[in-house]
Chain A
Amino acid sequence: MSSTPRLIQHAKKGDSPGWVFILPSLILIGLIGLPILALVWRSANIRIFPFAFTPSAVNALKLSLLTSTLCIFVAILTGTPLAYIQAHWSFRGKAFLDVLVDLPIVLPPSVAGIALLMAFGRQGLFGSWLNLFGISIPFTTLAVVMAQVFVSAPFLVRSARIGFTSIDPQLDEAAKVEGASNWHVFQHIMLPLASRALMTGIILSWTRALGEFGATLLFAGNLEGKTQTMPLAIYVGFEQGLGIALVLSVVLLAVSFFLLVLLRRLELQNQH
């Protein structure tokens, strides 16, 4: 995160990097850029934007905004303290905890979905117990939020952890000498100093939650207005014509793009 400003100071102007660097880069830029260009191009050509916002598309959009916002609140309230603990205290099993929390970042979403079902499904390890109290999580909006938190919160924790770790430990000691409590130090010193890293984490985590598909499909199912988020509507929308799927894809693309631009601005501000 903090490497961006230094890179910019080092960036050279004038002489060309040479084809050894440019050619391989062009291949990757093409692979990433062309599909995105094609998506925008095709959806601009079909002129169905006015018709694309069917009630089910609007429902999916609303549900995605609601669940990803709830998800981000849960991730902030639980992920920030966890990152703080990981950054400031060492204890037995800390290395294991670090890997555990990072695991969802590399796990395929389908694995996440099955794992959630095995734990919180009606016949699941804890789900069967909840069922005794008449609580059933699968196929509910809560299940959507849980799937999103599972896959996206680790991005926030990771980023916040890096933010907290980079703060000079002497600040903490100095404040403790003055008689400040752990909470005081956290609230008045650590949080403000790590705020950019936290914002980065929040944005990354939010974009990931918005895009969640596999775990939601397996754990929460697909019901309009209740569990059908935008990525699911895009998948199902294939049938009603590629047009609707295309337009919804572009909307999701635009939101993600906006969030990433925001992220970049934050990183640039970091150096001033």
Chain B
Amino acid sequence: MKSAKGTILLILLIPVILIACGPVLNNLLAKMDPIATAHPDTESAQTLTVFAAASLTDAFQEIGRELETTNPGIKVIFSFAGSQVLRTQIEQGAVADIYASADHKNMDALAAESLIDMNSYHDFATNRLVIILPPGNPAAVESLHDLARSNLILVLADPSVPAGNYARQVITRISDDPEFGNDFESTVLTNVVSNETDVRQVVTKVELGEADAGIVYISDAVAAHDLNTITIPDSFNVSARYPIAILNNSSNPDLAAKFIAYVNSPAGQAIMEKWGFRTGN
């Protein structure tokens, strides 16, 4: 009994110690971070919450960092996931300021429910698809034709995910070309072993070498630098338009407008291009 009491006491002590150490740790971290030191939290920090498609992860994180550096006191928080997951979360009352989707379908659904500010709704970048191969390319995939090879292990995003929908459009377009033949589409689709729930999961499965090939956005391939790629010619490729909008329940629409203005600025568009997106420029 006595030892049981001791154990319970120990367990209860853990959070107490963590709480006690919190301020000390915070202090240490603040000293290491020049931005936080320059502007201590006495100045009311403004927080912006951005829900963005998984494919925007790297580009938006860089844009967020730039915005935080040039506008001290601003804190940008991101939630990256499949566009359809974010849309459902917003429909169910998730609180955010900005939604950036990888397709119009999900944005339009929110528009129909009057959840977004229609004046702010516009496209800010486009993305194209590319075939990715694991390091070393064990299955020796050399061309689009190889996608239809029997027993090839192909991973796509689920049709409900924009990237998965686009990938299937690309496959249909290739199939329409007599050079590939009508059964190209059905053969390729039988090679699909998994419909991943977001496009970054496709990248992970190929990076780990679990799949012989995957179809993702060019921006994903840029972010994962150790992957080999096969270009999909423009004639087969799709141009995925990325819309962005301020949510009607945003608690800080001015700050949200500032973020969007930065995305559209030459500096912001340069970051988008650096990560493989195409912009209006």
Interface residues of A (CB under 8 A from B): 117, 121-123, 136, 138-139, 217, 220-224, 227, 235-236, 238-240, 242
Contact = CB atoms under 8 A, between A and B. Distances in A.
A117 B193 contact: no
A216 to B, nearest CB: 11
A238 B81 CA distance: 13
B271 interface: no
A221 B211 CA distance: 11
Given A123-B208, A139-B193, A238-B88, 7 more contacts: A121-B210, A122-B210, A138-B210, A221-B194, A236-B197, A239-B160, A242-B88
Contact of B160 (A117, A122, A139, A240): A240
Interface in B163-207: 192-197, 201, 205
Contact of A139 (B85, B194, B201): B194
Interface of B: 84-85, 88, 91-92, 153, 155, 158, 160, 192-197, 201, 205, 208-210
Given A121-B210, A139-B210, A222-B158, A239 B193 contact: no
Contact of B194 (A117, A223, A235): A223
Nearest to A226: B193
Nearest to A219: B210
Nearest to B136: A123
B84 A221 contact: no
Contacts of A139: 153, 193-194, 210
Nearest to B105: A239
A113 to B, nearest CB: 11
Given A238-B85, A239-B160, A123 B210 contact: yes
A136 B195 CA distance: 18
B197 A223 contact: no
B209 A236 contact: no
Contacts of B195: 221-224, 236
24 contacts: A117-B210, A122-B210, A123-B208, A123-B210, A136-B153, A139-B193, A217-B201, A221-B155, A221-B205, A222-B197, A223-B192, A223-B194, A223-B195, A224-B195, A236-B158, A236-B197, A238-B84, A238-B85, A238-B88, A239-B88, A239-B160, A240-B160, A242-B88, A242-B92
B242 to A, nearest CB: 18
Nearest to A241: B88
A227 B158 CA distance: 13
Contacts of A138: 210
B84, B205, B209, B210 pick with most chain A CB within 10 angstroms: B210
B93 to A, nearest CB: 13
B88, B91, B153, B195 pick with most chain A CB within 10 angstroms: B195
Give 4 nearest A-B pairs by CB, closest first.
Answer: A221-B194, A239-B160, A139-B193, A123-B209
A235 B238 CA distance: 27
A123 B196 CA distance: 19
Contacts of A223: 192-195
Contacts of A121: 208-210
Contacts of A222: 158, 194-197
A217, A221, A227 pick with most chain B CB within 10 angstroms: A221
Nearest to B193: A139
A221 B209 contact: no
Nearest to A245: B88
A123 B135 CA distance: 11
Nearest to A117: B208
A167 to B, nearest CB: 24
A146 B43 CA distance: 53
A139 B201 CA distance: 13
B91, B92, B197 pick with most chain A CB within 10 angstroms: B197
A220 B196 CA distance: 10
A235 B197 contact: yes
A263 B194 CA distance: 36
B88, B92, B205, B208 pick with most chain A CB within 10 angstroms: B208
B168 to A, nearest CB: 14
A121 B194 CA distance: 14
A139 B205 CA distance: 10
A217 B85 CA distance: 16
A217 B208 contact: no
A238 B194 CA distance: 18
